[in-house]
Amino acid sequence: MILFHGPTHARDSPRFPNIKPTNSIYALLSMEQPKYATILSNKQDLEKHFDLIATYSLEPYYPGTKIPNLPLTYYPLNILSMEAVLQDPRPFSKKSGYKTGITQVNSKLN
C-alpha cells in the first residue's frame, strides 16, 4: 500500500508516478473537508488514481464515488489523556450531551 496524504489549504494536488507498481494499492488519507483539501472535490481524479480513501466519513464508499472509504478518527493527545482514549465508551443513556440538555440521539432521520 502506498499512502498519500491529501494536500490542504489550496496547495497543488500531488503528482503521481506514470507507472503504478504491480499489486500496489494507492490510498489517500485526509481528515479534512473538501473545502480545505480540494483534491477531495475532484471525484473523477480520485477514481482515476486511488483504490482506497481514508477519511472521517463513516460511509463505506467515499461520497459520490465507488472508492472504498476507511473511516478514521483521531484523538488529540494534547487534549485527551491516553487513559481517556482507551476507556470503554459510555452508553447513550449515560451521556450528558455536554450540558446541552440533549441526552440521547435519535438514530432515525425523518
- Of residues 42 and 92, more confidently modeled: 42
* Structural domain contains residue 17: yes
Predicted confidence (pLDDT) per residue in 33-90, tens digit: 888 888 888 899 899 999 999 998 889 999 999 999 999 887 777 888 888 878 887 7
Query: Which residue carries 494499492 as its cell?
Result: 25
Secondary structure (DSSP) of 44-95: HHHHHH-SEEEES--SSB-TTSSSBEEE-----TTTS-HHHHHSPPPPGGG-
* Structural domain contains residue 108: no
* Structural domain contains residue 80: yes
* Structural domain contains residue 104: no
* Structural domain contains residue 83: yes
pLDDT-derived band at 100 (thresholds 50, 70, 90) equals low
Find out whether 11 and 37 touch, Cβ atoms under 8 Å.
no
* Average pLDDT for 15-33: 85
Residue 108 has pLDDT above 60, yes or no: no
Q: Which domain holds residue 70?
A: 2-94
Q: Is 5 helix (H, G, I), strand (E, B) or coil?
A: strand
Which of 5-14, 17-26, 43-52 reaches the highest mean pLDDT? 43-52
Into how many domains does the chain fold? 1
What pLDDT is stored for residue 107 in this prediction?
Answer: 46
What pLDDT is stored for residue 68 in this prediction?
Answer: 97
pTM for the model: 0.64
* Structural domain contains residue 100: no
Backbone angles phi, psi at 9, to 5 degrees: 55, 60
